[in-house]
Amino acid sequence: MATSARSAPAVDPIELEIIQEAMISIVREMRVNLVATAYSSIIYEAYDFSCVLIDGRGQIVALAEDNPSHIFPVPWSVRQMFDTFGDDIRPGDVFLHNDPYTGGTHLNDIAMMFPVFAEGRLVLFPCVRAHWGDVGGTTPGSISGKSTEIFHDGVRLPIVKIASGGELNRGLFDVMMANMRVPRERRGDFMSTWGTCQVAERRIAELFERYGVATVEAAIAELIDRAERRTRQRIEALADREYVYEHYLDPVGADAEPVIAKARIRIDGSDIAVDFTGSSGQTRAAMNAGPAVAATGAFIVLKAFLDPAQPINHGNFRPISITAPEGSFFNARYPASCAGSSEVRHAAISAVLGAMSQAMPERMAGDIKGTSNHVYIGGKDPDRPEPFIFYEYPAGGTGATAEGDGGDALRNFAEGDFASIQSVEQIEHESPLLVERCEIRRDSGGAGRHRGGCGLRRDVRVLVDEALLSVSSNKNVLPPFGVAAGWPGAPNSFSVVRNGEELAPSDTPGQVQGFPLRRDDVVVMRSSGGGGFGDPLERDPALVLDDIAEGRLSVEAARRVYGVAADGWAFDPDATAALRTGMQAEHRLLTVDPVPSPPPGGRIWCDLARGTIARLGLKDGGAHEILDAGGPGLRVWIRGGEGMGENTLRLPERLCRVLDLREGDGVALRPLSEPLCAEPS
């Protein structure tokens, strides 16, 4: 994606800023127009779409409050348009693309490219990537965590010319609609997107008329070069070295190994190289993505760390190179399912976040919910002419930082202007469903000096005789990590309550395909909390009391985790001080004994004397997190070792390097299976 910088004619600095803001304003008008005219609630309620302006070289020029996960892959789609159609691109042509193997995300995200010509050539043109509520495939909504090949995901569009010279290719369009559920909505969203691009075309013409094509081109070149210079200056301020972090995704099968996401970041002068080599191979499940997704995850984190305040354009990416080995789950080959590409992107985000937290500890933050939490309920309502497809996307807690607590049930830096909570009225108007509960999920935020944000709980009752539930989610087993000795947040969780009994809809948490629902079943969605920051025993007791009063924290968790003796309205300072002193005295560090690293792949096993495991309340054979006071937590699996001294942890050398640990250093462990507190009723 990186291109070499080029010199551009000087542009008046005032005019330069006006042109930049004018282009951003065009994008904002596109967003308003799409929201006002779209047919499906996933667009007009959730804002699951994004708009962008692209220049004639395929570079990102301007965007607004859009979802970077949609926008950053757009240059791959545009490159496919150029490579496939070459000189056969003319005014009035419209192109569609959603193929993950050539730069798309998942098949539901369909990109429309609308070339606009000035002076006989492409200079600046709009693109829209919008989530279509269904594109065919195995289950209503098209996304399922248990899909195993791309044909399960729906209709795949490599790069197609859907209109020529302003005339719709009716045959191709009809074939697409015939393979998608609720075609009325799909047609409406398509026409809405096309109309939005035509609005942008008029505004681009006005921009050219006011300033001239040459001036706008010169301004674009300078804005991109300026963003590159600014990004390189930030990189040069960092030490030239390598940072590594290993992150795990949930297993994709009942007996499968967890999926490894490994990021190696190399800083060299004003360049950054991100290498995902060492990550797991592509999976026999939905947890795969094409080549644009890992790069997108890396770009999102690096922009947030290096240059968070300034507008985004292609110059931000020029100093960054990405390696995602073909055949890995970060760059899967045909015919792998890519329905879970959002989870793959979040895996890249978490891995790069962990590595960059070592490079820039002042920007360190607890992990986010780390998944899009796709939840679909689909079926036939006898009182409606069309099938219904309910699509939910519950937000979770954001990570805590050195400055303060995370946000509760909010979208995060990786998701743009995507809505956090879908309107109850909209759900009940469109679908035969009843929303019975929507609340902050108590005890879900990662404990710490600063607490991770809480997730939410939402219960939805089915009001028809039959329906199907599908889910594609992650971090249901291995939750979002904490940093600086902060605790992880609670994991995501999805279940079905039937006749008062809570059922697991799948043998693999978070991965559900077409689970049959009955009338009065209640689908329960619990989203994860963000990772905590710092030692929970250092949290101000007054803040703990506030969390209890506001329903974020139980009295039991306040005592057991934060060492605060409270009754819900007040806390006892003397009892709290004594409780915390006792907990600190019981807190024992394990002494690190580095051992040769096993071959990469699968779980990382660490040995500990069985007596130590029992005494510290750890889980023999279970997943744990090393609470690193200087950086992000790291996941390992503990087993009882023979001939070991008490409190000695045999830790593979490669993890010692990641955590900057040496023989004799001390670390703390926490079982990942241990909740902050019991689930509320």
For 586-610, what is each residue's pLDDT tens digit?
Answer: 777 899 999 998 877 778 899 999 9
**pLDDT class of 681 with cuts at 50, 70, 90:** very low
Q: What is the pLDDT of residue 445?
A: 96
CA–CA separation, 79 vs 319, rounded Å? 19
1 pLDDT exceeds 70? no
Question: Residue 463 is inside which H or E element, if any?
Answer: none
33 pLDDT exceeds 50? yes
Asked if 590 and 649 touch (Cβ cutoff 8 Å), the reply is: yes
Tell me phi and psi for residue 520, to 5 degrees. 75, 0
**pLDDT class of 674 with cuts at 50, 70, 90:** low
Q: What is the pLDDT of residue 422?
A: 86
Q: What is the pLDDT of residue 675?
A: 65
7 pLDDT exceeds 90? no
Q: What is the pLDDT of residue 5?
A: 41
Q: What is the pLDDT of residue 604?
A: 87
CA–CA separation, 312 vs 316, rounded Å? 7
Asked if 295 and 72 touch (Cβ cutoff 8 Å), the reply is: yes
Question: CA separation (Å) from 390 to 40, 337, 377?
Answer: 11, 22, 5
Q: What is the pLDDT of residue 134?
A: 96
Q: What is the pLDDT of residue 147?
A: 95
Q: What is the pLDDT of residue 537?
A: 96
Q: What is the pLDDT of residue 679?
A: 54
Query: If you average pLDDT over every residue of the chain, what do you get?
Result: 92
- Mean pLDDT, residues 370-395: 92
Produce one character per residue of 566-580: b if its CB has 16 or more CB atoms within 10 Å, e if not. beeeebeeeebeebb
Find the distance separating the first CA and the last CA of the chain, reported in whole Å. 49
Parse the chain into domains and list their residue ranges.
Answer: 13-139+150-230, 538-586, 590-671
Q: What is the pLDDT of residue 6?
A: 44
**pLDDT class of 257 with cuts at 50, 70, 90:** confident
555 pLDDT exceeds 90? yes
- Mean pLDDT, residues 551-578: 93
Asked if 644 and 607 touch (Cβ cutoff 8 Å), the reply is: yes
Question: Residue 185 is inside which H or E element, if any?
Answer: helix 183-211
**pLDDT class of 668 with cuts at 50, 70, 90:** confident
CA–CA separation, 106 vs 150, rounded Å? 10
For 110-140, what is each residue's pLDDT tens digit?
Answer: 999 999 999 999 999 999 999 999 999 999 9
Cis peptide before 335 (omega within 30 of 0): yes
268 pLDDT exceeds 70? yes
Which residue type, as a one-letter code, is found at position 612?
T
Asked if 283 and 252 touch (Cβ cutoff 8 Å), the reply is: yes
For 157-191, what is each residue's pLDDT tens digit?
Answer: 999 999 999 999 999 999 999 999 999 999 999 99
- Mean pLDDT, residues 447-476: 96
Q: Which of 207-216, 468-477, 606-615, 650-659 has the lowest mean pLDDT?
A: 650-659
- Mean pLDDT, residues 427-445: 95
**pLDDT class of 11 with cuts at 50, 70, 90:** confident
**pLDDT class of 385 with cuts at 50, 70, 90:** confident
- Mean pLDDT, residues 650-659: 88
Q: Is 223 helix (H, G, I), strand (E, B) or coil?
A: helix
Residues with Cβ within 8 Å of residue 406, at least 6 apart in sequence = 366, 397, 398, 399, 400, 445, 446, 450, 451, 452, 453, 529, 530, 531
Q: Quickly name the fold that domain 590-671 has.
A: Barwin-like endoglucanases (2.40.40)
CA–CA separation, 445 vs 553, rounded Å? 9
**pLDDT class of 4 with cuts at 50, 70, 90:** very low
- Mean pLDDT, residues 349-376: 91
Residues with Cβ within 8 Å of residue 666, at least 6 apart in sequence = 589, 590, 591, 592
Residue of 680 and 142 predicted with greater confidence: 142
